[in-house]
Amino acid sequence: MNSSSWLWRTIGISSVLATLLLLAGFLYAVKDVIAPASGNPWVSTPDGSLSNAAPTTSAKEYNIVSLGDSLAKGTGDDTGQGFVRRAVTELQKVQKLPVKLVNNLGVNGMTTKGLLPTLNEEGVQYVLRNANVILLSIGGNDLFQGAQNVQTGKALPTYKELSSEVEKASLRLKQIVDKIHEINPAAQLVYVGLYNPFNDLKEMRIPGNQAVAEWNLRASEILNTYENGRVVSTFDIFTGNTKKYLADDHFHPNDEGYQYIAERIVQGLR
């Protein structure tokens, strides 16, 4: 009898306390969700900012960051590596220092227009500050978004349209490169040049090749203003070889195509 009395007292008191605590939490939660603004007694305002955070990567390593479009992401590569991870592997073969992929910020469908505002994000800037090699692939979607309509049967872009797109997008490319250099002036910046994925289509071969050549020239002009900048050419790999080196979607490189791009990137790195 004594023990059950003790049991009842403990359970009674603790359950009443638990109920009161939970009820308070419940009321507080309802208030906080329904009227978040009205004077919360427990608001804590974090004053930290990512712009003050120091990079954590070591200077004695190759810290690779890639950003840009689906090529940076590796779309079309059956192994999922893309030129980024292939470049990491290849670079490790020839370098003694450890090679690390810090982040791959490639997003499918990314254009120069889309990339520019993301460079203002503190998270992206922090990632870039952690790199000493930055691989950039952008512009393909700006130029060829229209041409991807080839499967849907819409009209193909003319040379004039492509050329005016080169004009506009290359201005944004300059802003992007300037911005990256501003964020991390010490890193080597490698821009992966464009190829013409449609050079096996009669109507797209010459206008496409011309536009891509113009684009790559612009890109070289922009990158060459910086000591650490360079353009890796990919145009020649795919010319006449689209069947061999492009994936089934007829737009992205396949495993082999990515491998060649990666090897070229590594050849130029120091």
Partner 1 sequence: MNSILPLIKNETIKMMKKKRFYVVILVLIVLVPIFVYAQMKIAETNREKFNSDWRLAVRQAITDNQNSLQSARVPEEWKKYRIIYIQQMKYYLEHDVNPQEPGGVGFTRQFMDNAATLFIPLLIMAIASDIVSSERSSGTIKMLLTRPVRRWKVLLSKLIALLMFVSLIVVSAFVISYLISGLVFGYKGFNIPVFTGFKLNGSDVDLSGVHAVPQWAYILMQCGLIWFMSITVAMLAFMVSVLVRSTAASIVIMMAALIAGTILTNMASAWTSAKYLFMVNLDLTNYLAGTPAPIEGMTLGFSLAVLAIWAAVSLLISFTVFTKQDILN
Which residues of this chain interact with partner 1, rule CB under 8 A? 4, 7-8, 11-12, 14-16, 18-19, 21-30, 32-34, 36-37, 40, 42-46, 48-50, 52-53, 56-57, 73, 100, 102-109, 121-124, 126-127, 130
From the CB of 174, what's the least distance to partner 1, in Å?
24
Q: Which is nearer to partner 1, 31 or 154 (CB)?
A: 31
Cβ 22 to partner 1 shortest distance, Å: 4
Distance CA 62, CA 65 (A): 10
Neighbours of 160 (CB within 10 A): 10
The residue (of 104 and 199) whose beta carbon lies closer to partner 1 is 104
Nearest to partner 1 of 40, 224 (CB atom): 40
Q: Which is nearer to partner 1, 53 or 94 (CB)?
A: 53
Q: By C-beta, is 49 or 202 nearer to partner 1? A: 49
**What is the nearest approach in angstroms of partner 1 to the Cβ of residue 259?**
22
Q: What minimum distance in Å lies between the beta carbon of 37 and partner 1?
A: 7
- Output DSSP code: residue 38: S
Instruction: Specify whether the CB–CB gap between 143 and 102 falls below 8 A.
Output: no
Go through the chain and tell me how many residues it has.
270
Q: Least CB distance from residue 58 to partner 1, whole Å?
A: 8
CB of 5 to partner 1, least distance (A): 8
- CA 209, 72, 128: angle at the middle one, nearest 5? 120
- The angle at the Cα of 151, spanning 147 to 154, to the nearest 5 degrees, equals 60
176 is written with which tokens? 């992007």
Backbone angles phi, psi at 184, to 5 degrees: -140, 85
Amino acid at 57: T
What is the four-CA torsion angle of 31, 34, 37, 42, rounded to 10 degrees?
Answer: 30
Residue 73 three-state SS: helix
Among residues 50 and 171, whose Cβ is nearest to partner 1?
A: 50
